[in-house]
């Protein structure tokens, strides 16, 4: 446990907590229907691309404001 914790820069007690939490909820993890897993994956894929897209829009707006001497 200590070796794994050191490798991932995590405290061993945190790993123990995650392990016990997983074991107590393992039935829910593996009993999800394919449709529900698909919905979660689709939601993740949608949200994953949003921050870089928003950063691009904001960068464009800042550049436009600087060019128009409004800043």
Is it the case that residue 5 has pLDDT exceeding 70? Answer: yes
On whether the pTM is more than 0.85, the answer is: no
pLDDT of residue 70: 56
Left, alpha or beta for 68 (phi > 0: left; psi -120 to 50: alpha)? alpha
Burial status of residue 49 (CB atoms within 10 A of its CB: 0-12, 13-18, 19 or more): exposed
pLDDT of residue 10: 86
- Tokens encoding 54: 């928003």
Using one digit for the tens of pLDDT, what is the confidence trace for 23-65?
888 777 666 666 677 787 888 777 776 777 778 888 888 888 8
- Tokens encoding 15: 């790993």
Q: Please tell me the distance from the alpha carbon of residue 61 to that of residue 66, in angstroms, as a whole number.
A: 9
| Number of CB atoms found within 10 A of residue 16's CB | 12
């Amino acid at each position: 446990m200590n070796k794994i914790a050191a490798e991932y820069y995590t405290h061993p007690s945190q790993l123990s907590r995650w392990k016990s939490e997983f074991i107590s909820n393992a039935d829910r993890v593996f009993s999800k229907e394919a449709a529900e897993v698909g919905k979660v994956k689709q939601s993740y894929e949608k949200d994953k691309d949003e921050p870089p897209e928003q950063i691009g829009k904001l960068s464009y707006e800042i550049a436009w404001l600087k060019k128009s001497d409004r800043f």
